Copies of this chain bind each other. A is one copy, B any other.
Amino acid sequence: MAKLWGTRFSKGLDPSVLKFTSSIHFDKKLAIYDIDGSMAHAAMLGKKGIIPKKDAKRLVSGLKALRKGFQKGTVKLDESKHEDIHSAVTEMLAKKIGKVAKERLHTARSRNDQVGLDMKMYCKDKIDGLVDCVTYLQKSLLNFAGKNINVIIPAYTHLQHAQCILMSHQIIAYVEMLERDKERLLGCKKRTDEMPLGSCALRGTSLNIDREAVARALGFSRITQNSIDAISDRDFIMELLAALMIMGIHLSRFAEDMILWSTKEFSFVEIDDSLATGSSMMPNKKNPDVLELIRGLSGNIYANLSSVTVMMKGLPLSYNRDLQLDKVPLFSSVETLQEVLPLTAKLVKTLKVNKANIKKKIGEDEFLFATDIAEFLVKKGYSYRKAHDITGRIIKYCIKGNKKISDIPQKRLKSFSDVLNVKVIKGIVDPERSVASVKSKGGTNPTMVKSAIKRWRRKLGNA
């Protein structure tokens, strides 16, 4: 294994140290970015006359070929032969085009700024991919919401029955959350979009490089403004991991909702057989493993942020080798969500709604209309306090007598309030009417929910 730095040392590196410090088994994922960055760098070096033009040309065309080889799979990286992806690219290039690779490519460049560049390119790229995955999931949720627009379920606070809502209204809550996730990703991308190359080891170089040209060639909006910051900064990784962590929390909540909804007890939805698993011992089982793993993976996604944050804590400037430990956690969160988001969409697409059961459930709990009664009373002139109180007494009466609200006799109703009677109560105790009565913007009224779906579809494009 050829090293880029051995001369001043009187001994070779201990093999266990080489194994311990080498990063090739994970930073190989940066290969394409490393090649692209090297191409832009070599071209610039040639243009500025820092290396001979013909050498630059050779470097660039060699790198192009190497890139193609990587993409086609004809070039294979041998992990046992290289210390890191930067050395690997140089050495593989040298095999192709000769010693000019090792001699010239590393001019006015250090691995410190090079890895910063590769990581920023990776992040920008992956953010775009993740944003697409999120949009895809949002569309699946919207389709599900559209398809099941008439389904009325009990809404929960404290996991206790609260009021009637459209199932679609709850589903769209997740569309909102995911949109904020995307905004966070894009905010992070904006801050990541600064080209660090040319910061070199830490202070720049006395060679006459053109950093803006490299930035342009690689599609960056601007260059970093302080070389020490540029090679010490891992904000973009912590910020991305934090954004993904919040997304992981959202998905854990969605998973929890769906796990609950598919219990025997709730039975609101049924997961498709193709997405559920069984038990090696209990022949009856159909388990929502996919959802459980999505919920549980929020722990891992959270921990990836922890890992980088704790590593960064208290590090003096500028570059320290600890920074190498940013990669495994970052790749883990990115790849986990790249897998989880489409899988969640697939699950949503095939989710069956148990409409009959839901209808039955709603029918069994008239307390869901307690707020409807209270608001009816307010419209009749009661203060909310008084209305809440009257309704509370009705509920207590029903619990004690084990009665439904619609079973309260006319006379007893009147005793709670003059404006109440059997006909009024029958009118109120009706899920369709209940949801339709909502007037406030952002509420569960079917007209509003339908508009929300339309608005989202316009925003996100067709499914």
Contacts and interface: CB of A to CB of B under 8 A. Distances in A.
A5 B370 CA distance: 13
Interface in A373-409: 373-375, 378-379, 383-386, 388-389, 391-396, 399
10 contacts: A13-B274, A176-B225, A200-B440, A203-B438, A209-B439, A249-B312, A283-B391, A293-B324, A298-B310, A309-B310
Contacts of A102: 385
A285 to B, nearest CB: 6
A322 interface: yes
Interface string A40-56: 00000000001100000
Contacts of A103: 383-386
Contacts of A297: 325
A293 B322 contact: yes
B14 A293 contact: no
Nearest to A181: B235
Contacts of A340: 20
B157 A203 contact: no
Given A162-B282, A392-B283, A275 B346 contact: no
A140 interface: no
A71 interface: no
B284 A443 contact: no
Contact of A165 (B109, B203, B233): B203
A148 interface: no
Residue among A13, A158, A297 with most chain B CB within 10 A: A158
Chain A facing B: main interface SS: helix
A279 B385 contact: no
A292 to B, nearest CB: 4
Interface string A295-307: 1111110111111
A122 to B, nearest CB: 19
Given A158-B319, A287-B321, A300-B311, A163 B106 contact: no
Nearest to A340: B20
Residue among A202, A305, A329, A372 with most chain B CB within 10 A: A202
B5 A315 contact: no
Kindly report how many copies of this chain are found in the complex they form together: 4
A30 to B, nearest CB: 16
Given A239-B246, A253-B317, A442-B223, A283 B322 contact: no
A227 interface: yes
B317 A172 contact: no
A435 B276 CA distance: 28
A107 interface: yes
A1 interface: no
Contacts of A176: 224-226, 229, 233
A45 to B, nearest CB: 10
A292 B159 CA distance: 10
Interface stretch (A74-82, A131-139, A254-262): A254-262
A199 interface: yes
B310 A163 contact: no
B315 A307 contact: no
B293 A299 contact: no
Interface stretch (A31-39, A62-70, A183-191, A418-426): A183-191
Interface in A132-165: 154-165
Nearest to A449: B226
A205 B439 contact: yes
Nearest to A392: B7
A443 B204 contact: yes
Nearest to A187: B187
Contacts of A110: 279-282
Contact of A293 (B3, B21, B263, B319): B21
Contacts of A306: 299, 302-303, 306
Given A289-B21, A299-B308, A206 B372 contact: yes
